[in-house]
């Protein structure tokens, strides 16, 4: 079971100015209890689409049916998507398959190689498609977009479709799976016309909450990840956070700590620092979830508030050598959430060598997992000595069940934070302007006025060009 440890965010450890006092926690837990009642009421009313995903057997079954159809005749799977249509796929693959997965031979992997093209970068797209050229007949492209109108994904898809039609002819449609709205939208209509296999983007689930839907599950199932165990872990955490009293509820306590740090302790920067390379993708996933959900200009009444904790990703122990100097001696405006692993999937021991070098003697015959654990504890201690708060989320092991638990824990905590901040945690209005401006600059017919304004803004003033 996933565990939350928050002692190092308390006044007992780091003092009352930066740490949480018992009275502060007690009063905030009452606020969180009210937020919890509100979120559970939304859940019970069917208004919290992501909360239903762990139990949605229909989504699970359509994923498994399609994976069964394609796994045996697919050597490479390419996901075309961005944001919530890509980060979850990357996170699950990184957490639950070997780091060398794509380097293994076809027979050893047990599933296709996975490439997630999460940008419109021409080198990323060109190099990847060039690599796959000879394997195209056994390459499957999963294009993920609720509407089909996202510029980056649509551009990728147009390139891929043209390439497939040129090289495979009439059978090109069999190498495309469209994950999209089940009833409407550009991609839905193209898929129907061309005859692609399709998967559902749940209409009531935003992209950043969609990792446990077909959006994230299909690539996982194709690559041999146990999605039943993943969903079971999420379901277990769902029951736990829905029914446990606030003081014993990991989502409520995590939300209370983070809210207090943001609203009362002047800590607007929320760092996630896994001590496991396998969990680094989950930190990337968290950044989108936290940033898009909680950064809002207005509250629910329409008043300007400009709220939002800033999520930051770090990696232990790597970033002890790049960021901890800032975290310890820079502005005391951060809370660090460590992700800790009890049992790593591999055991590697440092050999008994260099016995004559006294400085290296502590490392002899030590397992790398023990070294990594010591690094985390030392960093935790050093931060506390500098009155810097931290909490730890502990994974007994990096398993599908534990990853599912973590995903649901953070999704539900995000909902609670939305209530505490009195904002809509499920929209992202600021993202839309950039999307519209992109299409305006590319010459969309209904955007001439906007394009003129943007070009005027973007015109280079040589006075400032050095």
Instruction: State pLDDT tens for residues 129-158.
Output: 999 988 999 999 999 999 998 999 999 999
Question: Is it the case that residue 338 has pLDDT exceeding 80?
Answer: yes
Identify the CA nearest to 83 among candidates 208, 210, 213, 211: 208
What's the confidence (pLDDT) of residue 308? 97
pTM score, whole prediction: 0.95
What's the confidence (pLDDT) of residue 448? 62
CB-facing half-sphere around the CA of 323: CA atoms within 13 A: 14
- DSSP bridge pairs for 274: 339
What's the confidence (pLDDT) of residue 449? 63
Question: Is it the case that residue 332 has pLDDT exceeding 90?
Answer: yes
Q: What average pLDDT score do residues 161-185 get?
A: 96
Which letter, b or e, does each residue of 259-286 get, where b requires 16 or more Cβ atoms within 10 Å of its Cβ?
bbbbbebebbbbbbbbbbebbbbbbbbb
Residue 375's Cβ-count burial label (10 Å; 0-12, 13-18, 19+) is middle
Dihedral sign of CA atoms 317, 323, 325, 326 in order: negative
Question: Is it the case that residue 447 has pLDDT exceeding 80?
Answer: no
**Do the Cβ atoms of 241 and 409 come closer than 8 Å?**
yes
What's the confidence (pLDDT) of residue 464? 84
Q: How confident is the model at residue 446 (pLDDT cuts 50, 70, 90)?
A: low
Which letter, b or e, does each residue of 301-319 get, where b requires 16 or more Cβ atoms within 10 Å of its Cβ?
eeeeeebbbbbbbbbbbeb
What's the confidence (pLDDT) of residue 445? 65
Residues 6+ apart with CB under 8 A from 134: none
What DSSP letter does each residue of 443-456 carry, written as one string?
Answer: T-GGGHHHHHHHHH
Q: pLDDT tens digits, residue range 211-245?
A: 999 999 999 999 999 999 999 999 999 999 999 99
SS3 string of 18-29?
A: CCECHHHHHHHH
> Mean pLDDT for the chain?
95
**Do the Cβ atoms of 335 and 9 come closer than 8 Å?**
yes
Dihedral sign of CA atoms 293, 81, 213, 132 in order: negative
Q: pLDDT tens digits, residue range 387-443?
A: 999 999 999 999 999 999 999 999 999 999 999 999 999 998 877 767 677 776 676
What's the confidence (pLDDT) of residue 465? 87
Q: What average pLDDT score do residues 431-458 get?
A: 71
**Pairing assessment for the beta strands 3-5 and 390-397 based on DSSP bridges:** antiparallel
Q: How far apart are CA 79 and CA 109, in angstroms?
A: 18
Question: What is residue 117's three-state secondary structure?
Answer: strand
Which parts of 156-307 are beta strand (E)? 176-180, 197-200, 269-274, 296-298, 304-307
* Chain centre to alpha carbon of residue 4: 19
Q: How confident is the model at residue 463 (pLDDT cuts 50, 70, 90)?
A: confident
- Find the largest Cα–Cα distance for the chain: 75
Q: How far apart are CA 411 and CA 424, in angstroms?
A: 14
All structural domains of the chain, each given as residue ranges with its CATH number in brackets, are 3-42+230-421 (3.40.50.10490), 57-201 (3.40.50.10490)
**Do the Cβ atoms of 9 and 20 come closer than 8 Å?**
yes
Q: How confident is the model at residue 455 (pLDDT cuts 50, 70, 90)?
A: confident
What does the block give as tokens for 189?
């209509």
Distances 451 to 80, 152, 443, 460 between C-alpha atoms, Å: 27, 18, 8, 16
Residues with catalytic function: 292, 321, 435
What's the confidence (pLDDT) of residue 460? 83
Q: How confident is the model at residue 80 (pLDDT cuts 50, 70, 90)?
A: very high
**Percentage of the chain lying above the pLDDT 70 cut:** 97
């Amino acid at each position: 079971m996933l565990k939350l440890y928050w002692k190092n965010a308390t006044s007992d450890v780091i003092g009352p100015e930066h740490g949480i006092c018992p009275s502060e926690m007690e009063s905030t837990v009452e606020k969180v209890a009210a937020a919890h009642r509100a979120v559970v009421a939304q859940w019970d009313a069917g208004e919290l689409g992501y909360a239903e995903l762990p139990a949605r057997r229909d989504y699970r079954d359509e994923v498994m049916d399609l994976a069964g159809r394609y796994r045996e005749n697919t050597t490479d799977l390419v996901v075309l998507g961005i944001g919530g249509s890509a980060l979850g796929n990357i996170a699950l693959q990184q957490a639950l398959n070997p780091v060398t997965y794509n380097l293994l031979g076809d027979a050893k992997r047990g599933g296709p190689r996975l490439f997630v093209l999460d940008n419109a970068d021409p080198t990323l797209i060109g190099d990847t498609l060039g690599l796959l050229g000879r394997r195209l007949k056994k390459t499957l492209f999963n294009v993920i977009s609720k509407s089909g109108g996202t510029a980056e994904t649509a551009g990728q898809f147009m390139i891929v479709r043209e390439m497939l039609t040129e090289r495979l002819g009439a059978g090109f449609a069999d190498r495309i799976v469209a994950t999209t709205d089940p009833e409407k939208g550009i991609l839905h209509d193209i898929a129907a016309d061309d005859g692609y296999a399709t998967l559902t983007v749940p209409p009531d689930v935003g992209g950043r909450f969609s990792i446990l839907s077909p959006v994230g599950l299909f690539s996982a199932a194709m690559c041999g990840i146990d999605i039943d165990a993943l969903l079971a872990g999420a379901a277990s955490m769902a029951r736990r956070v829905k029914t446990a009293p606030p003081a014993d509820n990991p989502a409520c306590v995590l939300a209370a700590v983070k809210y207090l740090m943001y609203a009362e302790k002047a800590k607007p920067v929320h760092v996630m620092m896994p001590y496991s390379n396998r969990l680094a993708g989950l930190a990337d996933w968290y950044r989108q979830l936290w940033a898009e959900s909680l950064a809002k200009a207005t509250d629910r009444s329409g008043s300007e508030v400009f709220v939002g904790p800033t999520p930051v990703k770090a990696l232990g122990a790597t970033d002890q050598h790049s960021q901890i100097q800032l975290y310890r001696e820079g502005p005391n405006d951060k809370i660090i959430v460590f992700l800790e692993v009890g049992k790593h999937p591999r055991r590697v021991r440092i050999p008994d060598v260099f016995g004559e070098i006294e400085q290296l003697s502590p490392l002899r015959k030590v397992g790398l997992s023990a070294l990594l654990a010591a690094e985390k504890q030392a960093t935790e201690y050093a931060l506390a000595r500098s009155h810097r708060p931290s909490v730890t989320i502990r994974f007994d092991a990096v398993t599908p069940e534990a990853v599912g638990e973590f995903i649901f824990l953070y999704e539900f905590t995000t909902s609670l934070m939305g209530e505490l901040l009195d904002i809509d945690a499920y929209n992202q209005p600021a993202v839309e302007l950039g999307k519209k401006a992109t299409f305006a600059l590319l010459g969309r017919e209904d955007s001439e006025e906007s394009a003129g304004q943007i070009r005027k803004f973007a015109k280079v003033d040589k006075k400032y060009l050095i």
